[in-house]
C-alpha cells in the first residue's frame, strides 16, 4: 500500500561544485556549477535538514571546496573526502575538525587503484578519527574486491552497488556490517525498488538515502519522485524513517541537536500505490 512521510530527511549523498575552487577534468568531464545556495534551494522543499557533501572525482585531492561548503551549509552537514596515498594522521585530524566524517574511494572513475594504499588509508582514517570508507565501484570491481572490502573496519557502498550483478555480493557485505546508499537511481541498470526491499528485508540498518544532487553524469538526474519510490519499496514507516534519517544520523555520528526532525516545511512523500517488488535483473 502507499505510505506517507512528513518529517525530516538527511541527504547522505550530495555534491557541491563551487567555481571558486579548481576542478580536474575526469575522463574528459567537468561538472556544471552547483553552489551550496543552489543545493539548498533545490533540496529545501524536500524537508532536508542535513546531509553529507561528497568530494567527486573532478575535485581530486584538493579538499578546500569541501571544507568551504561545510562552513556555508552549517553544522548539520558533514563531509566525505578524498585523500592522497601519503595522507597522514594530522591531515585526517584537520579535516575531522572541519566536519569531515568519511573517506571516499572512487574506483568507478579511475581514482585510487592501489589496494594496499586504499587499505592503509581506510584503516588509518578509522583508527585516527572513526571514519568509515565509502566506495563507488562497478560490479566487476566489487566482486573482485569483495573479500578485501569485507575485511575493512567499516564501509559504505555507493548507489546500491550500481549494477545488478553486484547485488548478491552486496547482500553478503551487508551481512558483515556494510552500509549501502540508496542513491543515484538514474545510474542503475536494475530496479532500485526491488533492491531496497531486499536489503531492508535482510537488515534494516544498512540503507541510507541520498539525492545524489546534482547527479553528475547520471543517465537520469534525481527527481522528487525517487523519494516516493523508496517509500513504496520499504512500505513500513519505521524502515522509511530509518533510511531517510536515523541510519545516516548514526552513520555520520551526528549530535542529537543537529538531527532536527521538525523542518520548517516538512516533506510529505506519497507512495505510488500497491506494487510487488521482486529482486531480479532485466
Domain boundaries, the chain: 4-270
Question: What is the bridge-based pairing of β-strands 269-270 and 4-5?
Answer: antiparallel
Can you tell me whether residue 48 is helix, strand or coil? strand
pLDDT of residue 232: 95
Residue 53: beta bridge partners?
14, 79
pLDDT at position 240 is 94
Which pLDDT score is estimated for 270?
A: 26
> Which grid coordinates belong to 56?
567527486
List % helix, strand, coil for the chain (3-state, nearest 5). Answer: 40, 15, 40
- CATH code reported for the domain at 4-270: 3.20.20.140
Q: What is the predicted pLDDT for the residue at 257?
A: 38
Q: What is the pLDDT along the chain (282 residues), one digit of tens a residue?
A: 344 555 799 999 999 999 999 998 877 879 999 999 999 999 988 999 999 999 998 888 999 999 999 999 999 999 999 999 999 999 999 999 999 999 999 998 776 678 999 999 999 999 999 999 999 999 999 999 999 999 999 999 999 999 999 999 999 999 999 999 999 999 999 999 999 999 998 887 899 999 999 999 899 999 999 999 999 999 999 999 999 999 999 999 997 534 444 444 333 332 323 222 324 454
Task: Count Cβ atoms below 10 Å from residue 271 Cβ, excluding itself.
Answer: 21
DSSP 7: S
Distance between CA atoms of residues 223 and 214, nearest Å? 10
CB 92 within 8 A of CB 125: yes
pLDDT of residue 255: 79
HSE-CB of 85 using CA atoms within 13 angstroms: 9
The side-by-side arrangement of strands in the sheet containing 132-136 is 9-14, 48-54, 77-81, 100-106, 132-136, 155-157, 179-182, 207-209
The dihedral of CA 231, 200, 102, 168: what is its sign?
negative
pLDDT of residue 4: 56
Neighbours of 109 (CB within 10 A): 15
SS (H, E, C) 224-260: CHHHHHHHHHHCCHHHHHHHHHHHHHHHCCCCHHHCC
Strands 100-106 and 132-136 come out as parallel
Q: Which helix (H) or strand (E) covers residue 129, if one does?
A: helix 115-129
- The pLDDT of residue 111: 61
Amino acid at each position: 500500500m502507499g505510505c506517507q512521510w512528513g518529517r525530516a530527511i538527511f541527504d547522505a549523498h550530495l555534491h557541491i561544485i563551487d567555481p571558486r575552487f579548481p576542478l580536474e577534468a575526469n575522463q574528459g568531464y567537468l561538472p556544471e556549477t552547483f553552489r551550496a545556495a543552489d543545493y539548498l534551494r533545490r533540496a529545501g522543499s524536500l524537508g532536508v535538514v542535513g546531509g553529507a557533501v561528497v568530494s567527486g572525482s573532478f575535485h581530486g585531492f584538493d579538499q578546500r571546496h569541501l571544507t568551504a561548503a561545510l562552513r556555508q551549509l552549517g553544522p548539520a552537514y558533514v563531509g566525505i573526502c578524498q585523500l592522497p596515498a601519503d595522507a597522514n594522521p594530522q591531515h585526517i585530524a584537520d579535516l575531522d575538525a572541519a566536519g569531515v566524517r568519511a573517506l571516499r574511494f572512487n574506483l568507478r572513475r579511475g581514482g585510487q587503484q592501489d589496494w594496499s594504499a586504499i587499505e592503509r588509508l581506510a584503516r588509518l582514517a578509522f583508527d585516527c578519527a572513526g571514519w568509515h570508507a565509502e566506495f563507488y565501484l562497478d560490479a566487476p570491481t566489487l566482486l573482485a574486491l569483495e573479500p578485501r572490502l569485507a575485511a575493512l573496519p567499516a564501509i559504505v557502498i555507493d548507489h546500491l552497488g550500481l549494477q545488478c550483478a553486484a547485488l548478491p555480493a552486496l547482500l553478503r557485505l551487508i551481512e558483515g556490517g556494510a552500509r549501502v546508499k540508496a542513491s543515484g537511481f538514474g545510474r542503475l541498470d536494475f530496479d532500485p525498488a526491488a533492491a531496497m526491499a531486499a536489503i531492508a528485508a535482510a537488515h534494516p540498518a544498512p540503507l541510507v538515502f541520498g539525492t545524489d544532487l546534482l547527479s553528475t553524469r547520471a543517465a537520469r538526474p534525481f527527481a522528487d519522485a525517487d523519494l516516493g519510490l523508496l517509500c513504496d519499496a520499504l512500505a513500513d514507516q519505521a524502515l522509511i524513517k530509518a533510511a531517510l534519517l536515523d541510519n545516516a544520523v548514526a552513520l555520520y555520528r551526528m549530535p542529537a541537536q543537529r538531527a532536527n526532525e521538525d523542518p520548517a516545511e516538512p516533506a510529505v512523500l506519497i507512495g505510488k500505490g500497491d506494487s510487488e517488488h521482486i529482486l531480479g535483473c532485466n
